[in-house]
Structure 1
Amino acid sequence: MAANKSERALVEEWRDVLALHARTTCELDRALQPHGLGASDFEVLDVLAEGASEDGPASWRVQELAGRVHLSQSALSRLVARLEKDGLVVRGMCPEDRRGVQVRLTGKGLDRHAEAKPLQREVLTRMLDRDS
């Protein structure tokens, strides 16, 4: 019986995590919509922006980016194509391995990220702050 109760508690905790993720993603989508972004769009811009330096925006291989934003490569490829169509990122061949594709923020992408970042961080603070 104790193992069964423990298993139920584990499943309930997992379902709570899923529910929090779903609620937070919905809130992010709603907050970022005026900027023409969804939660996954912003996450890609955010990872790319984190790698930016004074030398300019960093490039990420699609495979590396997929692991950071927790999307399949095919889903990420579709998302990157939309961001590229909107002028927020550019894709290019990887110089080290011509089979690989790199993604880099454009100036417009950096600006859009900077505009949306405070909203995204506010939603995360509100939804994930366990002290409140």
Structure 2
Amino acid sequence: MTVTAGESKQVVGSEELALWHVVRRAQARVTRALEAELLVEHDLALASYDVLAQLSGAPERRLRMNDLAERVMLSRSGLTRLVDRLQREGLVERAACADDARGLFAVLTDDGAVRLAEATPTYMRGVRAQFLGVLDERELRRCASALTKLFPDPDPDPD
């Protein structure tokens, strides 16, 4: 397959493309399984779990909405809708930013922390069943090494 970007051309081999498709399918499969388990056992979507987990690991259990959107890989409008839902459920609240009148923080509530603590064993069990438990220690080290090359400065993640 030839990919054209401007005037430069790059040939992507079938093995490379196959690897990329496997990565995408693996991510989708693991995500679907985690989502299903969290919904069934805790009535909590995976994106909601991710927001609660990110807030839990942040100083004072709060993050600016822009920073949180980046960490959970949602658009600002998508995060706003999600935080609205979580706020209605009492899991998150918004707080004004003292040094930026337009800035808002999303803050994990005590109820949100409890809900996260209840859901985390299910989440971790799913991660182990779908990903970590499938690979042996050598494969895990190689996988971590390869992915670290793609993202050398990983963002802080409470998982």
Query: Which interval holds the TM-score relative to the shorter structure?
Result: 0.7 to 0.9
Partner residue, 1:123: 126
Identical residues among aligned pairs (%): 35
Secondary structure at the counterpart of residue 16 of structure 1: helix
Partner residue, 2:146: none
Over 2 Å off, 4+ runs: none
Q: TM-score, normalised by structure 1?
A: 0.87
State whether structure 2 residue 46 is matched by structure 1 residue 43.
Answer: no
> What one-letter code is carried by the residue in structure 2 that aligns with 1:106?
T
How many equivalent pairs are there? 126
Secondary structure at the counterpart of residue 90 of structure 1: strand
Higher strand share: 2
Deviates most, 106-115 or 70-79: 70-79
Determine which structure has greater relative contact order: mean sequence separation of CA pairs < 8 Å that are 6+ residues apart, divided by chain length. Answer: 1
Secondary structure at the counterpart of residue 13 of structure 1: helix
Partner residue, 1:98: 101
CA distance in 2, matches of 1:82, 1:74: 13
State whether structure 2 residue 72 is matched by structure 1 residue 69.
Answer: yes
Q: TM-score, normalised by structure 2?
A: 0.73
CA distance in 1, matches of 2:105, 2:58: 13
> What one-letter code is carried by the residue in structure 2 that aligns with 1:18?
R
Question: How far apart are 1:23 and its partner, in Å?
Answer: 0.8
Question: How far apart are 1:7 and its partner, in Å?
Answer: 2.0
Unaligned runs of 5+ in 2: 2-9, 138-159
Unaligned runs of 5+ in 1: none
How much is the aligned-residue C-alpha RMSD, in angstroms? 1.9
